[in-house]
A and B are shown apart, each in its own frame.
Chain A
Amino acid sequence: MALSPDEVRHVARLARLAVTDEEVAALSPQLSDILGYAEQVGEVAADDVPPTTHPFALTNVTRPDERRPSTAREDILAAAPSVEQDRFSVPRIVAEEG
């Protein structure tokens, strides 16, 4: 299928990627080509075939419940772009009431 410029903008929004008009113009044919190629999987009759998501069918993998040191908070926070009161700091998430 072809991805129109509007669809590219929609997918970019879902993916949290800011895109310029130039990028949309370039991505629309590129992504359409890649999807067109990948759509060949539809030629395979596979209705009754179970999907594989993993080469080994491991389920409910747990480790022994043992106490062990965790990474120090200051080591984690040292890598953060913005920290306030020992927490990650982000711009406002909820819109102000109008």
Chain B
Amino acid sequence: MAADLVTRSATQLAAALAAGEVSAREVVDAHLDRIATTDGVVADGDVWAAKDAGALGPDEVHAFLQVTATAARGHADDIDRRRAAGEVLGPLAGVPLALKDVLTMRGAPTTCGSKMLEGWIPPYDATVTELLRAADVVVLGKTNMDEFAMGSSTENSAYGDTRNPWDLDRVPGGSSGGSASAVAALQAPLSIGTDTGGSIRQPAALTGLVGVKPTYGTVSRYGLVAFASSLDQAGPFARSVEDAAQLQSIIQHHDPRDSTSVPQAAPDVLAGLKDGLEGLRIGVISELRGEGYEPGVARVYQEALERFERLGAEIVEVSLPHAAYGLPAYYLIAPSECSSNLARFDGVRYGLRVDAPTAEEMNAATRAQGFGPEVKRRIMIGTHALSSGYFDAYYLQASKVRTLIARDFQAAFESADVLVSPTSPSVAFGLGTKTADPIAMYLNDVATVPASLAGIPALSLPAGLAEAPDQPGTALPVGLQMMAPLLRDDVMYRAAWAFEQDLSFDPTPAGPRALAAGSWRPTTADNGEVAR
């Protein structure tokens, strides 16, 4: 029973819960059990802490930083009581979810993967957290991430690496790697990540999931610890397009507490979800195909385009002439905003303080000890880019390039309804293989940052499996990116749903699948047998 519950989608669980076939408590307990056996937590007390990074076993995923077990069980019991009393509950009531540790939740620490915030208990809920609770989605705990969401592998966490359930020696992508691995490892059917330059879409691609960055401004940033405010956006991870759409419907909401929250009504991503591809024009971006992608990624992408054509979509070629400048512009704009936003971590109001004789020395010593190397690099780049004499050439010029990229998208959407590209240039790479070279790590984001700069909605969904070039015989997920005009998330979801139905990709890696039989360590060769 329990093993069966963790393999079900959120939509399936919601139906079983509504029909009274299973209780919210049973669903939550099944997922807590799965976390206890696979993740490397000390399953004891009200809040389960992750083991120290050094104490983690080679088979442990380390998706969670803390598991709020008692609160989750209490919420589940409350849902069951209210359902039994005849109360009308939301569509995902009783379904468990993992929350990225960059969103605040009362009563549990929020660390952002940083020593700077170790032990900080926020005195308020993020709007996303409030909306989840109001919908009776049960938060299981907080997930690991690159420190302050800066990274593409989750190796920049101060609390140890998260592993990819498809191959435990590989990264899950980042920065939302914990949220991705939790869902791929069947520890939760849903999770929330945040995406600044690809931090939902790239990990979704590397872990075989659906991951969505909604239109900027449709999901409140209140209580989302800021990295780059004009780019940060929370969104769903799920094992199916419909599950992701259900979750997005819950979290998108105009919020007076976020001055960048868009006042327009958010798109209805459920109404036309199953309308099919007929009549849709799929735009293939000339600048984001072929060059720089692993052969396996390029092959799966080509197959995806053929599938679209077979399903009745019209394939059109479009150009984003300034796409090549997206990544350089992003790596000026995001660090500039980061250097400004992270100035708040000064040892005064919350988090770490390192004592020193004067305030300025205290600030500098606290920040030196609290931040890891990648965060320091980005703060330094941003501080330099915004400093007197350099502002025009760096930040201002990058902001103009941003305008040109947004115009490129507007032009492309005149001839296409949805644009596509591979999500990531590679399949999941080995732990430690890119940490020494910041620019090699940044290149993971080449296909995802243009949509971020334009603010448009974008998602990644599984398109197939491919071999890692460094390890023959492997079978690892490849993601397909879809992008739509501002506030047209619905069109993107519709195309994604039709593609998913035809592909019937199995989102369960071999390891989590084998766990039911008592063993866990997956081999990537087994992945190939479970997927087509």
Contact = CB atoms under 8 A, between A and B. Distances in A.
A79 B260 contact: no
Nearest to B407: A49
B332 A41 contact: yes
Contact of B256 (A11, A55, A56, A64): A64
Interface residues of B, number: 74
Nearest to A19: B368
Interface residues of A, number: 55
Given A41-B328, A49-B404, A51-B402, A18 B368 contact: yes
A43 interface: yes
A67 interface: no
Contacts of A72: 123
B71 interface: no
A50 B348 CA distance: 38
B145 to A, nearest CB: 20
Interface string B382-414: 011101000001101111111110100000000
A49 B400 contact: yes
B96 interface: no
B403 A50 contact: yes
A43 B404 CA distance: 13
Nearest to A76: B123
Contacts of B263: 58
A16 B364 contact: yes
Contact of A11 (B230, B262, B387): B387
Contact of B368 (A17, A33, A42): A17
A41 B329 contact: yes
A52 B402 contact: yes
B259 interface: yes
B360 A44 contact: no
Interface string A23-46: 100010011011101111111101
B359 A90 contact: yes
Interface in A68-93: 71-72, 75-76, 78-82, 88, 90-93
Given A34-B438, A90-B359, A79 B121 contact: yes
B262 A58 contact: yes
B358 interface: yes
B358 A91 contact: yes
B451 to A, nearest CB: 10
B364 A18 contact: yes
A19 to B, nearest CB: 7
Central interface residue in A23, A31, A56, A58, by most chain B CB within 10 Å: A56
Nearest to B398: A41
A44 B325 contact: yes
B126 to A, nearest CB: 14
A38 B328 contact: yes
B152 interface: no
A55 B230 contact: yes
Contacts of B404: 44, 46, 49
Contact of A93 (B349, B358, B439, B442): B358
B182 to A, nearest CB: 27
Nearest to B357: A91
B330 to A, nearest CB: 9
A71 B123 contact: yes
A4 to B, nearest CB: 12
B380 A11 contact: yes
| 3 A-B pairs with the lowest CB-CB distances in the bound complex, closest first | A55-B455, A51-B399, A81-B353
19 contacts: A16-B367, A17-B368, A27-B376, A27-B380, A34-B442, A37-B439, A39-B328, A44-B404, A49-B403, A51-B400, A51-B403, A58-B262, A61-B259, A75-B123, A82-B353, A92-B357, A92-B358, A93-B358, A95-B358
Given A16-B360, A80-B349, 7 more contacts: A15-B367, A41-B401, A49-B404, A56-B260, A75-B123, A79-B123, A93-B358
